[in-house]
Amino acid sequence: MTKSRKQEFTEDEGHGIQAEERPSPDAAQKSEGVLYLGIDLGTSRTSVSASNGVRETVASYVGYPKDAVSRKLLKKSVLFGDDAVNNRLALEFYRPLEHGVLKCSESGDTEHAGNLKAAQDLIAEIIRRAKPRKDELIYSVIGVPAQASINNKQAIIDAARATVDSVMLCSEPFSVAYGLDMLDDVLVIDIGAGTTDLCRMHGTMPEDSDQITNTYAGDWIDNRLGELLRESFPEAQFSIQMVKKIKERFSSVADEMDSVRVELPVKGKPTQFDITREMREACRSIVGPIVEGLSQLISTFDPEFQDRLKERVLLAGGGSQIRGLDSAIEREMELRLGSGKVMRCEEPVYGGASGALKIAHDMPAEFWEKLK
């Protein structure tokens, strides 16, 4: 996939940056190779897609052994993902991203420092998992929540710069749309763990008014399901991690869904519970806010193109795996907006990372050079 033509960007005084097509002077040609990384930095899961064929994902948890004994037992100084979750009792445990943002942007206390380090270690880890070669240039695009603050962005860039040669941030739902080449008249619903991002694509770079973020996402469902289980089965013992795993396995909003039977301890004794109703209700709890956001974005769109927009709703992110969610959103859109057509992203886990990879690939060499 080599390119015969290159683009160069020159600065023209008073006219900003202009694009010109010029013969490639080989200025950007590197004999050692170029590795592109597309990273999706999520509250619950961080994924990477790389131009060497590697695709990796890890739960966004970081843990550090509490003492020398646990360090010796675990044989590591830092654990990530499921490793960290499974050993969290022996760890200083961090989930450095919350509601799509780093939990370390505002204060200077110890927790802030811990979350910042955890975030940086997480980014370094996902880059390491892409198995970059030492002699290659590494150019990375990281998808961040649409409304990430400046401080959040700075922390992410600082973490990535330790490992890559050049890095750019972009909106996460935008990267999903870019990866699918759906840049016109598309509404992207990126349901993550911390946030659900809705992004209106209309052929140009989305602006703030084209994006809505709410917290009715995976974590919200976990908490809601936990509340419902406590109401229905007060004797059952469970943790939020257990609820999360149950949700990831059985999540559904369909009227006709398979029974969800799980075992939960009651005074230490495993006991079976039928939580079908609770699961359905918890998962359905995000539909309303999502459609509310859709309504807002559609209603503020050019009326000429609103119907087109309603027919091209793209469901992405980990939350898109909830069974029947697309149909549920369509029904709700039918009620509120008269119609609606929802498409599922084929790769809910790697959609954002793959889109970021494509952006990295398409980014001109000069842009990368200037950001080094």
Partner 1 sequence: MTEATTSSSRRAVKPQALSVHQMMQLMQLEVDRAIEHRYPIACLMIGLDGFADSADRNLRQRLMPLVFGELKVVTFERKVRGLGLTQDDFVLAVFPHVTPEAAVELAEDVLQRGRDLEPPFLPQDRPVTLSIGIGHNVHENEQSFHVLTEDAASGMKVAQSKGGDRHVRWREVESELDRLREELDAQIQEITSHSLEAIADQAALGREWGQGVIDKALGLFDRAPETTDVIRLKKEVVAMLSVEVEDLLRSPVFEELGERERQIEMLERRVRKLTDSLDKTEGELKRIASMKSIDTGIASIYDFVQGLDMSEGNAEQKMEMLTNIFESNFVFQKGESKT
- Binding residues for partner 1, rule: CB under 8 A, are 1-3, 5-7, 9, 11, 16-17, 19, 21, 28-31, 33-36, 50-54, 131-137, 139, 150, 153-154, 157, 168-170, 174, 178, 181, 183-184, 203-205, 359, 361-365, 367-368, 370-371
Q: How far, CA to CA in Å, does 22 sit from each of 11, 14, 16, 348?
A: 14, 21, 18, 39
Torsion angle of alpha carbons 181, 173, 102, 80, nearest 10°?
-60
Closer by beta carbon to partner 1, 104 or else 329: 104
Note whether 142 and 120 are within 8 A (CB): no
Beta strand extents in the chain (DSSP E only): 6-12, 16-22, 34-41, 45-50, 55-59, 62-65, 79-80, 91-94, 97-98, 101-102, 137-144, 166-171, 184-191, 196-202, 211-214, 261-266, 269-274, 313-316, 342-344
State the greatest distance between any 2 C-alpha atoms of the chain, in Å, as a whole number.
Answer: 75
209: DSSP letter: G
Cβ closest to partner 1, residue 44 vs residue 57: 57
Nearest distance in Å: CB 279, partner 1? 39
Please identify, using beta-carbon distances, which residue of 116 and 148 lies nearer to partner 1: 148
C-beta of 136 vs 330, nearer to partner 1: 136
Distance CA 102, CA 86 (A): 22
53 vs 268, which CB is nearer to partner 1? Answer: 53
Closest separation between CB of residue 16 and partner 1, Å? 6
**Judged by CB, which is closer to partner 1: 101, or 328?**
101
* Cα-based distances in Å from 45 to 60, 92, 131, 159: 5, 19, 19, 17
Element (H, E) at 74: helix 68-74
Q: How far is the CB of 7 from partner 1 (least distance, A)?
A: 6
Structure tokens at 180: 């699918």
**Distance in Å, CB of 369 to partner 1, minimum:** 9
Q: Residue 314 Cβ, how far from partner 1 at the closest point, in Å?
A: 17
- Rounded least distance, CB 19 to partner 1, Å: 6
Closer residue to partner 1, CB minimum distance, 19 or 68? 19
Bridge partners, 12 (sequence order): 16
* Residue corresponding to tokens 């830092």: 78
CA distances from 7 to 18, 108, 175, 205 (A): 11, 43, 22, 20
- Return the SS3 of 134: coil
Nearer to partner 1, 8 or 92 (CB): 8
